[in-house]
Structure 1
Amino acid sequence: MNEITTTETRDIILDVTEKLIYKSGIAATGMDLLVKTAGVSRKSVYRYFANKEELVVAALQRRDVRWMQWFKSEVDKASSPADRLLNLFTVLKTWFASDGFRGCAFINTSGETGDPQDPVRLVAKEHKQKLLDYVCELCTEHGAEDPQALARQLLILIDGAITVALLMGDHGAADNAQYMARKLLDL
């Protein structure tokens, strides 16, 4: 019989936590549900994580790394700087149409916290900063006069499209955001 390594156990716990909080939120993801779904003991969870908050933060940090890698690799498939900026929204539209799309995990979980210094909120803020930095890089490559300002405007279009796609069930929100981006970019 194969023994599961400690790394595998930790990864299983994080994978299940991420899936549960993305599907139903932090509050709805109790430790009993997590233990049952992951097929591990409560003791195993607490071996790796001091409390639920630490577990949620670790799961979100992993999601951040994976999501940003995926998003950048897809966006960067476009050839020119202008095309990469427009591709931001094409990639979002594909994501919106995927099975299990539940919006932005970072916006969703931030909505469950009231304190701006809450560790969950800080992870979400870091994620959005990384996304802003990436969009700013694209704006710089495009030769924007003020890459920071343009990146902030595009981030609003990105997060707005994500929110509209989730709340309204409108996958075309990405097309509308791309249309507005074309206006900002004079394309």
Structure 2
Amino acid sequence: MENDRSTSSDARERLLDAAEALVYAGGIHATGVDAIVRAAGAARKSFYTWFESKDALVAAALTRRDERWMRWFTEGTEKRGRTPRTRLIGMFDVLREWFASEGFHGCAFLNAAGETASPDDPVREVARLHKARLLAFIGEQCEAWAQTVGADRRVAARLARQWLILIDGAIGVALVSGDADAALDARAAGRQLLDAFAPRPARSPRTRDAGAEQDARKVVR
């Protein structure tokens, strides 16, 4: 009985592997249960033992992918720099490696969410959770950056939301164009965003007076 359970558990992992690979490459609607079962080398009975539907299998596969992707992205980011700014910028170098890798098909979570009509769909919920986790990680880096430049947490929160858009935008452009350098364009935009969000040093009264005199001279001329 114990061996039967072990074998069944192994079949579950193979089903998850097959579902993730096939859905990522071809989409949810284009991937049938029979194709997943065949690719997994499992019996159809194993599918129904573990999953009540194809959507449940896809949601489970995406949940597992979320854990793996976040671990990869977090570790890659932390290796890219010792300061919050270099880590934030380094995120795009991590992405570029992904974009240039064989089998890149964009963001599995955005792709899957785009195939679901209901916001309450289990697949959409997993996609929403993934983006929330990614935003939380970006937010941690933005808060650390804000502390180094003297910005408040509201600035960090706005920066994090815009940084997520840069990341998702780069993924989308890389997918459609086939150009991994979309990450470099996003990185350049990220540098400008950090500079724009950084508080400007307050000018001394003498500096303000000098500036006013220069403006006055410009008006006279």
TM-score by length of 1: 0.96
Aligned equivalent of 1:10: 12
Aligned equivalent of 2:76: 74
Higher mean C-alpha deviation, range 135-144 or range 92-101:
135-144
Shift of 1:6: 2.8
Please state if 1:106 is matched with 2:109. yes
Instruction: Say which of 20, 23, 47 aligns to 2:22.
Output: 20
Q: Which runs of 5+ in 2 are unaligned?
A: 197-221
Q: Helix, strand or coil: the match of 1:71?
A: helix
Please state if 1:93 is matched with 2:102. no
Q: Which amino acid aligns with 1:109?
A: A
TM-score by length of 2: 0.81
Q: Helix, strand or coil: the match of 2:125?
A: helix
Greater Cα radius of gyration, structure 1 or 2: 2
Q: Count residues with an aligned counterpart.
A: 186
Q: Helix, strand or coil: the match of 2:101?
A: coil
Q: Which runs of 5+ in 1 are unaligned?
A: none
Aligned equivalent of 2:165: 156
How far does the alpha carbon of each residue in 1:43-90 deviate from its partner, in whole angstroms, 9 at most, with x for none?
001101111111010000000000000000000112111100001101
What do you get for the CA RMSD once the two structures are aligned? 1.4
**Identical pairs, percent:** 51
Shift of 1:118: 1.1
Q: Which amino acid aligns with 2:183?
A: A
Aligned mates of 1:32, 1:12 — CA distance in 2: 14
Q: Helix, strand or coil: the match of 2:36?
A: helix
Aligned mates of 1:132, 1:180 — CA distance in 2: 18
Higher mean C-alpha deviation, range 44-53 or range 6-15:
6-15
CA contact (8 A) 2:8 2:46 kept: no
Aligned mates of 1:41, 1:8 — CA distance in 2: 12
How far does the alpha carbon of each residue in 1:154-182 deviate from its partner, in whole angstroms, 9 at most, with x for none?
00000000000001112111001000100
Q: Helix, strand or coil: the match of 1:103?
A: coil
Where does structure 1 differ by over 6 angstroms across 4 or more consecutive aligned residues?
none
Q: Helix, strand or coil: the match of 1:28?
A: coil
Instruction: Say which of 177, 183, 196 aligns to 1:168.
Output: 177
CA contact (8 A) 2:51 2:57 kept: yes
How far does the alpha carbon of each residue in 1:94-118 deviate from its partner, in whole angstroms, 9 at most, with x for none?
0000010000000001111111111
Q: Helix, strand or coil: the match of 2:103?
A: coil
Bigger relative contact order, structure 1 or 2 (CA pairs below 8 A, ≥6 apart): 1
